[in-house]
Structures are given as structure tokens and as C-alpha cells.
């Protein structure tokens, strides 16, 4: 018998009930490079009764000039602070020059 409740699963084995919990969190946010790329690492943690069973990671990058409206409030605040007009313009110029040179 498997019951699912708000990201938690309860597995009943005989007289013992074990609670499985899945937690997804952004555990690392970094500002990298001259164009202030924001690297976001998201951890997915599965635990059983408080003991961690597995942890996996997913990363994505928000570049200067990208739409970050679907990001978390924390990432949006960082992007708003570091992706200034001058940084966005410098990144766009860099990208245009790279396309022109074929790099």
C-alpha cells in the first residue's frame, strides 16, 4: 500500500510504517565570469525517516540578458543586482563578435 501526501510517501510493511520524503532545494548559487553568469545547482534529496537515501543534482545557468522571470525569488534578486545594463550590453557584444568570427 503506497499513500502519497504533499511530496511525502508512506510505505506500510506489516506493522512498520516508513516515511519517504522528497525535498528539492537550490543549494548553491554562484556568480561566474566577467559576464556574471548565474549558476544554479538544485539538489533532490530522498530520505526515509530522516536518513538520507539518495541525493542528485541538476545545474542550469542564467546568462546576462536571459529571461529570469521563472526563477526563484532569490535567483531573480541576484540577476537583478548583477545583470546591469552594462553587463547585458557587454555580453551581447561578446556574443555578436563570437558569431561573426565563427567561434
Which SS3 state, helix, strand or coil, does residue 86 take? helix
pTM of the entire structure?
Answer: 0.77
Q: Which residue has the higher pLDDT, 102 or 76?
A: 76
Element counts in the chain: helices (H) and strands (E): 2, 5
CA distance 85 to 53: 44
- Please indicate, yes or no, if residue 43 is contained in any of the structural domains: yes
- Please indicate, yes or no, if residue 39 is contained in any of the structural domains: yes
- Please indicate, yes or no, if residue 7 is contained in any of the structural domains: no
- Please indicate, yes or no, if residue 12 is contained in any of the structural domains: no
- Please indicate, yes or no, if residue 35 is contained in any of the structural domains: yes
CA distance 51 to 24: 16
- Please indicate, yes or no, if residue 6 is contained in any of the structural domains: no
CA distance 41 to 24: 11
Read off the pLDDT of residues 43-97 as tens digits, 9 standing for 90 and up: 999 999 989 999 999 999 999 999 999 999 999 999 999 999 999 999 999 999 9
User: Residue 76 to residues 18, 52, 92: CA-CA distances in angstroms?
Assistant: 37, 30, 20
- Please indicate, yes or no, if residue 66 is contained in any of the structural domains: yes
Which SS3 state, helix, strand or coil, does residue 77 take? helix
Query: Structural domain tally of the chain?
Result: 1
- Please indicate, yes or no, if residue 65 is contained in any of the structural domains: yes
Domain of 81? 24-101
Amino acid at each position: 500500500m503506497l499513500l502519497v501526501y504533499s511530496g511525502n510517501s508512506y510505505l506500510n510493511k506489516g506493522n512498520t510504517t516508513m516515511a519517504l520524503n522528497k525535498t528539492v532545494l537550490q543549494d548553491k548559487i554562484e556568480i561566474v565570469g566577467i559576464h556574471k553568469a548565474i549558476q544554479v545547482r538544485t539538489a533532490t534529496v530522498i530520505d526515509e525517516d530522516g536518513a538520507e537515501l539518495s541525493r542528485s543534482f541538476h545545474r542550469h545557468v542564467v546568462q546576462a540578458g536571459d529571461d529570469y522571470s521563472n526563477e526563484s525569488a532569490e535567483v531573480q534578486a541576484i540577476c537583478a543586482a548583477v545583470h546591469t545594463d552594462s553587463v547585458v550590453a557587454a555580453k551581447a557584444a561578446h556574443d555578436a563578435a563570437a558569431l561573426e568570427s565563427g567561434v
